[in-house]
Amino acid sequence: MGSHFVEFLLTQDIQTVVIVDKLTYAGNIKNIESSLKNPRCRFYLADICEPLIEHVIRMEQVDAIVNFAAETHVDRSITNPRAFLETDIMGLFNLAYWGIKTKIKLFLQVSTDEVYGPILKGEADETFPLNPTSPYSASKAAAELLLQSYHKTYGLPLVIVRCCNNFGPRQYPEKLIPMAITRLLDDKPILLHGEGQEVREWIYVKDCIKEIVAVLKERHNGEIFNIGSGFRLTNLETTNEILLFLGVAMQRDRLIEFVNPRPNNDFRYAINSQKLGVGKYAFDYFDALLRETIKWYDSHLDWWEGKIDLDSNFYKKGESLK
């Protein structure tokens, strides 16, 4: 998401955009190469947990922090929760601490709809109680609560956005849609937890970024906003759409492999985004964006080749994911 945010921000009347990125396994400097050619964009290779953050904020005279930095893959959080606590909470603490010390004008935290936990019926609006069920979603909920306490105690100017599942170009192929696309392009089966009946809400990354930038510009201090599309499919339905677009739907039995259910896998996510006024997706619109996403991965083999098997151990049939 971060690289798309930077690209869009550089089209706006913004004086300077400062990127801080650790470039973990999911990071890729190629994602921001075009942005770095812009003289208004600067890059620091750093961990948000490091003391260097103070130097960057002070030297660049940062007046707003938008925090995309996070460990986000639920399966990884189950096998290695420490990394999520360090980045999603302690790294967040470091950013917020120096934000307060330097009197920034706004801290915008990019969170997730997963903090609500499973929504079996209806939709969760921004007043819905937090009920995280994985180490990942718990770390994001904890980060939100820490920031809200800083907002109330120290006056940190704060906005939180809770986004549904993003998809689009440059997404690391551990997430469902890029995982399915890249494995099919490599003639390997898609790996689906359980029976693939879990329901997820999808928004195209560039649509999500436009909403985040709109919130950033308005600077709604102390507010929380859901950013969703209202468009939901089961994981199996999403997978079937990708099979159809790639012309291999008739090989479904060979190209979908059902593996161990994720421990305590949330069955359904659904958020209400009326507060921000986000429009709902039509099926044809989602299909068009999914086709564009598939075309991007098909034309950027060098970007993802060699990455698609790195997370296969999370899906191995017959093995405990705990």
- The reported pLDDT for the residue numbered 121 is 96
**pTM of the shown model:** 0.94
Which pLDDT band, with edges at 50, 70 and 90, does 309 fall under?
Answer: low
**How large a percentage of the chain has pLDDT more than 90?**
85
Give the helix/strand (H/E) hosting 286. Answer: helix 283-298
CA–CA gap between residue 283 and residue 298 (Å, rounded): 22
Structure tokens at 84: 């999520």
CA–CA gap between residue 87 and residue 143 (Å, rounded): 10
DSSP string, 42-84: EEEE--TTSTHHHHHHHHTT--EEEE------HHHHHH-HHHH
Over residues 223-252, the mean pLDDT reads: 98
CATH of residue 191's domain is 3.90.25.10
Residue 11 C-beta-side C-alpha neighbours within 13 Å: 8
52 and 117 co-located in one domain:
yes
109 and 183 co-located in one domain:
no
pLDDT in tens, 259-271: 988 888 899 999 9
132 and 182 co-located in one domain:
no
Specify whether 114 is catalytic.
yes
Which pLDDT band, with edges at 50, 70 and 90, does 317 fall under?
Answer: very low
Over residues 132-152, the mean pLDDT reads: 96
- The reported pLDDT for the residue numbered 314 is 53
Number of domains in the chain: 2
The whole domain housing 291 covers: 173-198+232-269+283-314
Over residues 193-213, the mean pLDDT reads: 97
Whole-number Cα distances in Å, 287 to 204, 237, 245, 282: 11, 12, 9, 9
78 and 219 co-located in one domain:
yes
In a domain, 277, yes or no: no
In a domain, 319, yes or no: no
In a domain, 322, yes or no: no
250 and 222 co-located in one domain:
no
In a domain, 276, yes or no: no
In a domain, 274, yes or no: no
Which one from 114, 174, 198, 201 is the annotated catalytic residue? Answer: 114
- The reported pLDDT for the residue numbered 313 is 56
Which one from 71, 88, 113, 201 is the annotated catalytic residue? Answer: 113
In a domain, 42, yes or no: yes
- The reported pLDDT for the residue numbered 75 is 83
110 and 219 co-located in one domain:
yes
- The reported pLDDT for the residue numbered 26 is 87
β-partners of residue 203 are 166
- The reported pLDDT for the residue numbered 194 is 94
83 and 159 co-located in one domain:
yes
Which pLDDT band, with edges at 50, 70 and 90, does 78 fall under?
Answer: confident
Tracing tokens 């359904």 back to the chain, one arrives at 268
In a domain, 64, yes or no: yes
pLDDT in tens, 146-158: 999 999 999 999 9
pLDDT in tens, 239-298: 999 999 999 999 999 999 999 888 888 999 999 999 999 989 999 999 999 999 999 999
In a domain, 149, yes or no: yes
38 and 60 co-located in one domain:
yes
Which one from 116, 136, 172, 269 is the annotated catalytic residue? Answer: 136
Give the helix/strand (H/E) hosting 283. Answer: helix 283-298
Task: Write the single-letter amino acid at 308.
Answer: I
45 and 150 co-located in one domain:
yes
67 and 211 co-located in one domain:
yes
pLDDT in tens, 93-109: 999 999 999 999 999 99
Tracing tokens 């004008």 back to the chain, one arrives at 105
112 and 146 co-located in one domain:
yes
CATH of residue 113's domain is 3.40.50.720
| Spacing of C-alpha 105 from chain mean position | 24
142 and 291 co-located in one domain:
no
Over residues 140-148, the mean pLDDT reads: 97
Which pLDDT band, with edges at 50, 70 and 90, does 319 fall under?
Answer: very low
Specify whether 136 is catalytic.
yes
